[in-house]
Amino acid sequence: MRQKREPWWAPYARLDLKGGELITISEDDQDMLEIRWPDGSMIDLGYLEEKGMYEITTVASDDAEGWRHPLSIADVREKSALPEKLQAAIDSLVT
């Protein structure tokens, strides 16, 4: 009997989002998912094919100024490390 696979976004849905909203977009793409908070801050996760790695970007606001001056950018090679790295980004953004 074949086991049912969980959706690609399931590991991220189990994170402590600390009041943020998880928005899933596409698996292993430049735009994978976002986590947004009511104050306008957000975390963006995407796969950058040219770099061969994932990138987690944290911004104080989802506008031109926020993207010009991100709070942090983290490159992650292994997909299996993404939930832990995302939780660390959430924890550092939302205290």
- pLDDT-based confidence at residue 1 (cuts at 50, 70, 90): low
Q: Is a pLDDT exceeding 80 seen at residue 36?
A: yes
Can you give the pLDDT at residue 4? Answer: 86
Give residue 95's pLDDT. Answer: 81
Q: What is the pLDDT of residues 43-69, one digit of tens each?
A: 999 999 999 999 999 999 999 999 999
Q: What is the pLDDT of residue 40?
A: 96
The first and second tokens of residue 61, run together, are: 């606001």
The pTM for the full model equals 0.92
Angle at 20 between CA 19 and CA 26, to 5 degrees: 150
Return the domain boundaries, the chain.
17-93
pLDDT for 6-32, tens place per residue? 999 999 999 999 999 999 999 999 999
Q: Determine the Cα angle at 80 with ends 82 and 49, to 5°.
A: 70
